[in-house]
Chains A and B, each alone.
Chain A
Amino acid sequence: MKNEVYLDNSATTRAYPEVADIVKQVMLEDYGNPSSMHMKGVDAEQYVKQAGQILATSLKCKPENILFTSGGTESDNLALIGTARAMARRGRHIITTQIEHPAVLETCEYLSKEGFEITYLPVDGNGIVDLDTLEKSLRPDTILVSVMHVNNEIGAVEPIEEIGTIIRRVSPDAFFHVDAVQGYGKIRLIPKKCNIDLMSVSGHKFHGPKGVGFLYMSDRARLRPIIFGGGQQKGMRSGTENVPGIAGLALAADLTMSSLDEDVSRLKTLKAYAAERLSGIDGVTLNGFNDGESAPHILSISIRDVRAEVMLHALEDKGVYVSSGSACASNKPAISATLKAIGLDRSLLDSTIRISMSHFTTEEEIRYACDCFGELIPGLRRYIRK
């Protein structure tokens, strides 16, 4: 069998075996509808309640602050559209950044067509939002600020706590949404401490199932629902709860949080090692590395004169799976907004590879992957467009 080294964990992760087990168990045995009156319903409801508890503990909040969704995209949509609709009478100004995930950027585009005004904050060469610009952009009619915790393409970690402080000081009525899809389970973030009102999390980024996630809502957050139906989850998100997914999500969160410190220090070592070896290859540069301050699991590199897609397929042939730019966006060969925003040289936009690690990533795998890069790059570079 071919060696398989999966380094595309920011696209999605392999589930913990325990997670797969519990999903299966809920589907086959505890398959009731939490809204049903009978015992089967009560059993199912227990999973949802317990999951709320586990996730709340991870964020030091109450279970009532957790709203289950279908994942990051829905959470972002609900946070932005729900807030905009609830607050439209107070103001129509929203602030976000140039490097958000499409789930935020496209939703903002939609809202701008609905008459909301959007300010897109620029970032520096490491992808970090400028706090002064943020402060100057806040206005009396600003209703929402949405900033991602960890950028999915280069791993930039935004100063969420400082941002929260500024918003609270300058525009205390504005709500603060954080897309924590890439950060949750890697870098601890306590919403209350950071003045966060809304926070999006997706299960499959930390070894949970796909199609399930949640939105943290502070007590003061005000949202209009965007999905209507049977009134589940206090009418905020109708639809029968995805009980197997929710059970798996909570278990994945639990397992992730229990090994977080250990994993993070290991990932930091691996990342430093990979950064050193890869940047030692002729023509390879690191993006948004920020002296190692970027997220512990994401490393973005550009390889001069090698097309990212060719590099990706050549690595694939060696069993190494990485991504070019951001996987969510890479079906359409659009130029990455993040890479442009950090001012990456134009000639490198199409030569950028993302390596993303997880709980399961081993030192041996990283060594092997670095070996592969080292072997392949000179050969691929021989063939550039003449």
Chain B
Amino acid sequence: MEYSSFLIKYGEIGVKGKNRYLFENALMQQIKYALKRCEGQFKVHKAEGRIYVDALSDFDQDEVTDNLKTVFGISGICPMTFSEDNGFEDLKVFVIDYMKKVYADASEGTTFKVYARRSNKRYPLDSMELNALLGEAILEAMPVLKVDVHNPDITLFVEVRERIYVYSEVIPGPGGMPVGTGGKAMLLLSGGIDSPVAGYMISKRGVKIDAVYFHAPPYTSERAKQKVIDLAKKVSRYSGPIYLHVINFTDIQLAIYEKCPQDELTIIMRRYMMRIAETIAKETGCLGLITGESIGQVASQTLASLAVTNEVCTLPVFRPCIGMDKLEIVEISQKIDTYETSILPYEDCCTIFVAKHPVTKPSLEIIAKHEHNLDEVIDDLLKNALETKETIVVSTDE
């Protein structure tokens, strides 16, 4: 079947009262961003309280639906075909042709109904008449079908506007809220499996994300950094463009290594990462931090460790993976196509900074006391790390 446009269904945002136009505009903007990745010219427009994507040239239907599926706020994508209004007889032929093409393989007893909407009130037939007359015509043309107005297998929507649009399929969208309607948060992005998923999940609720990555050359390689950029790019299919801040963390890490107890290295390191992320977040208007932490996954993610890490932040820290098992996180990472990149073996050489037996029940007092060992150097190191940060705009727009 040749489709010419898509009706975009959006669930949750429909209920947002007077702010509705803000949500719709954000949705349209994200749709346009997703369509830039597709071959062809498209027009995205609002009409009669609905959003339509019209193709102005040839396009690949799978490519377009795959990309629309990355736009949060869309609950369903309906590929449509249209006919000029040349009278009812013509419409009948058109509708029968549509049904024959799309449901050529329909088995005996497949049920359907016609659901007509007439927004062009000058059209000579009203929607009830359209339902009845088109239903009858289809039954005649395709004897295998049966009508069921309550629970049909196929609902054929017929929209009479300036032109007449016909659709019957609803491809599920990703749900969620359009990005940009929920403020902005700062994602602590590593090369692992969890943090890209965390970014995706928060972004799904309409939050725009920026990201910070801690680079530690020569202990982490250029490839490890490139991997993080690649991951950010995959997330940006969903979240829109991401400002990725790359912080050179080597000197801070070495200072912690030299001056603090080995079993506390990771936890102290995490605290400095959070502090730096929060500083950048506040500078850039982010209202929260996002991490991929999940309770108990590693020593630094026990409840006790999370509490000690969290203590350095004043912004809320969002941890959408917190209650998930690794396999559940992996499943999402596969769905959003970050998994294969995450498991590339450019393992950071940071392992030398990982104690063989890290603390799992750190005490805030003790950790804070040991952090004082860094007093002489840490201000300069933090200042320097922030001053030398590199910011990369990661987007699927080329």
Interface presence of B345 (CB below 8 A): yes
* A3 cross-chain contacts in B, Cβ below 8 A: none
Partner of B352, one of A313, A315, A333, A384: A384
With A309-B221, A310-B219 as known contacts, state yes or no: A333 contacts B254, CB within 8 Å. no
What separation, in Å, do the CA atoms of A384 and B265 have in the docked complex?
13
What separation, in Å, do the CA atoms of A87 and B218 have in the docked complex?
51
What separation, in Å, do the CA atoms of A383 and B257 have in the docked complex?
8
Partner of A385, one of B217, B221, B254, B354: B354
A312 touches B356 (CB 8 A): no
A333 touches B349 (CB 8 A): no
B254 touches A383 (CB 8 A): yes
B262 touches A332 (CB 8 A): no
Of all chain A residues, the one with the shortest Cβ separation from B354 is A385
* B349 cross-chain contacts in A, Cβ below 8 A: 307, 309-310, 313
Interface presence of B144 (CB below 8 A): no
B347 touches A386 (CB 8 A): no
> Per-residue CB proximity of B237-262 to A under 8 Å, as 1/0?
00000000000000000100110001
Interface presence of B107 (CB below 8 A): no
* B262 cross-chain contacts in A, Cβ below 8 A: 386
* A315 cross-chain contacts in B, Cβ below 8 A: 218
A333 touches B345 (CB 8 A): yes
What separation, in Å, do the CA atoms of A383 and B349 have in the docked complex?
12
Interface presence of B355 (CB below 8 A): yes
With A383-B254, A386-B262 as known contacts, state yes or no: A313 contacts B356, CB within 8 Å. no
Distance in angstroms from B53 CB to nearest chain A CB is 41
Distance in angstroms from A322 CB to nearest chain B CB is 12
Of all chain B residues, the one with the shortest Cβ separation from A334 is B345
Distance in angstroms from A314 CB to nearest chain B CB is 4
Interface presence of A162 (CB below 8 A): no
Interface presence of B86 (CB below 8 A): no
What separation, in Å, do the CA atoms of A307 and B221 have in the docked complex?
13
With A310-B218, A312-B218 as known contacts, state yes or no: A385 contacts B352, CB within 8 Å. yes
A317 touches B217 (CB 8 A): yes
B355 touches A386 (CB 8 A): yes
A313 touches B347 (CB 8 A): no
With A313-B217, A317-B217, A383-B257 as known contacts, state yes or no: A331 contacts B352, CB within 8 Å. no
A316 touches B254 (CB 8 A): no
Interface presence of B19 (CB below 8 A): no
What separation, in Å, do the CA atoms of A221 and B376 have in the docked complex?
73
A313 touches B219 (CB 8 A): yes
B352 touches A383 (CB 8 A): yes
8 A Cβ contacts from A314-348 to B: 314-317, 331-333
With A307-B352, A383-B352 as known contacts, state yes or no: A313 contacts B218, CB within 8 Å. yes
> Which one of B217, B355, B356 has the highest number of Cβ atoms from chain A below 10 Å of its Cβ?
B217
> Per-residue CB proximity of B335-359 to A under 8 Å, as 1/0?
0000000000101010111111000
> Which one of A307, A313, A333 has the highest number of Cβ atoms from chain B below 10 Å of its Cβ?
A313
What separation, in Å, do the CA atoms of A232 and B89 have in the docked complex?
64
8 A Cβ contacts from A281-317 to B: 307, 309-317
A331 touches B254 (CB 8 A): no
What separation, in Å, do the CA atoms of A309 and B355 have in the docked complex?
19
A316 touches B352 (CB 8 A): no
What separation, in Å, do the CA atoms of A385 and B262 have in the docked complex?
9
Of all chain B residues, the one with the shortest Cβ separation from A385 is B352
A333 touches B347 (CB 8 A): yes
Of all chain B residues, the one with the shortest Cβ separation from A312 is B218
Of all chain B residues, the one with the shortest Cβ separation from A311 is B218
* A310 cross-chain contacts in B, Cβ below 8 A: 218-219, 349, 352
Distance in angstroms from B248 CB to nearest chain A CB is 11
What separation, in Å, do the CA atoms of A314 and B355 have in the docked complex?
22
With A384-B352, A385-B351, A386-B262 as known contacts, state yes or no: A313 contacts B221, CB within 8 Å. yes
Distance in angstroms from B56 CB to nearest chain A CB is 39
B221 touches A331 (CB 8 A): no
8 A Cβ contacts from B297-314 to A: none
What separation, in Å, do the CA atoms of A386 and B222 have in the docked complex?
25
* A331 cross-chain contacts in B, Cβ below 8 A: 345
> Per-residue CB proximity of A344-386 to B under 8 Å, as 1/0?
0000000000000000000000000000000000001011111
* B347 cross-chain contacts in A, Cβ below 8 A: 333
What separation, in Å, do the CA atoms of A309 and B216 have in the docked complex?
13
With A383-B352, A384-B352 as known contacts, state yes or no: A317 contacts B218, CB within 8 Å. yes
* B353 cross-chain contacts in A, Cβ below 8 A: 383, 385
Distance in angstroms from B318 CB to nearest chain A CB is 33
Partner of A316, one of B218, B258, B345: B218
What separation, in Å, do the CA atoms of A317 and B248 have in the docked complex?
13
A332 touches B345 (CB 8 A): yes
Could you give 30 example pairs across A and B, Cβ below 8 Å? A307-B349, A307-B352, A309-B349, A310-B218, A310-B349, A310-B352, A311-B218, A312-B218, A313-B217, A313-B218, A313-B219, A313-B222, A313-B349, A315-B218, A316-B218, A317-B217, A317-B218, A333-B345, A380-B218, A382-B258, A383-B254, A383-B257, A383-B352, A385-B353, A385-B354, A385-B356, A386-B257, A386-B262, A386-B355, A386-B356
- Considering the complex of A and B, which 8 residue pairs feature the smallest CB-CB distances, nearest first? A313-B218, A314-B218, A386-B262, A385-B352, A310-B349, A309-B349, A310-B218, A313-B221
Known: A316-B218, A386-B355. 9 other contacts (CB 8 A): A310-B349, A312-B218, A313-B217, A316-B222, A317-B217, A383-B257, A384-B352, A385-B354, A386-B257
B-binding residues in A (CB < 8 A): 307, 309-317, 331-333, 380, 382-386
